[in-house]
A and B are shown apart, each in its own frame.
Chain A
């Protein structure tokens, strides 16, 4: 009885949403996202792909330092260990 894992299934507090991050990730592939790094630098662009390390490939990436746009990248790879969060732009 105390054997149940803390993972998925469980009683539904939410309405049928996936309860681990993979559902969210597949939901936002191709969508515009904001990626914030631990350093505070922000990248905005279209999310091309993510993997289990949170390595990220962005298209049309814009780099923001202290809220100011600094650079444009057609394609950018962000190594996962630097990522603080990935936010969906809606």
Chain B
């Protein structure tokens, strides 16, 4: 039973690394996770905010491509934000999922 891992522990593993946050609706955030609380409110650094991301999601369903470099929708950069956890749908660590970082 030692291998049991709580959902918030998974997010805790992402602290310090770059993550994707997929929101309810057409919005995503990418940034370095500095911290979070029990509501999954998050402090993010060097954030890119992407709007109108439905096609990005569709792209991901077809391939493993998570690169937003050819994304054409509205985007903005934010140095440091507190993101409300209310509308967060999914969190995805770029490093963890590609095995570049195995932070015990």
A14-B34, A20-B36 known; A2-B1 Cβ under 8 A: yes
A13-B15, A24-B43 known; A54-B35 Cβ under 8 A: no
Tell me the complex Cα distance, A10–B11, Å: 12
Residues of chain B at interface, number, CB under 8 A: 31
Please count the residue pairs between chain A and chain B whose beta carbons lie under 8 angstroms apart in the complex.
83
Nearest residue, chain A, Cβ from B43: A24
| Mask of A5-37 contacts with B, CB within 8 angstroms, 1/0 | 011001101100111111111000000001000
Chain B residues positioned under 8 Å from A6 (CB to CB)? 6, 8-9, 11-12
Nearest residue, chain A, Cβ from B10: A6
Assess whether A88 is interfacial by the CB under 8 Å rule. Answer: yes
Contact B78 A87 (CB under 8 A): yes
Which residue among B8, B78, B87 has the maximum number of chain A CB atoms within 10 Å of its CB? B78
Interface residues on A, range: 20 to 34
Cross-chain contact of B16 among A14, A83, A86 (Cβ < 8 A): A14
B84 to chain A, nearest CB (A): 5
Contact B41 A10 (CB under 8 A): no
Cross-chain contact of B41 among A13, A18, A21, A81 (Cβ < 8 A): A21
Cross-chain contact of B84 among A10, A11, A14, A85 (Cβ < 8 A): A85
Contact A17 B35 (CB under 8 A): yes
| Mask of B3-41 contacts with A, CB within 8 angstroms, 1/0 | 010101101100111000000000000000011111001
Contact B84 A2 (CB under 8 A): no
Chain B residues positioned under 8 Å from A90 (CB to CB)? 79-80
Nearest residue, chain A, Cβ from B15: A13
Nearest residue, chain B, Cβ from A4: B9
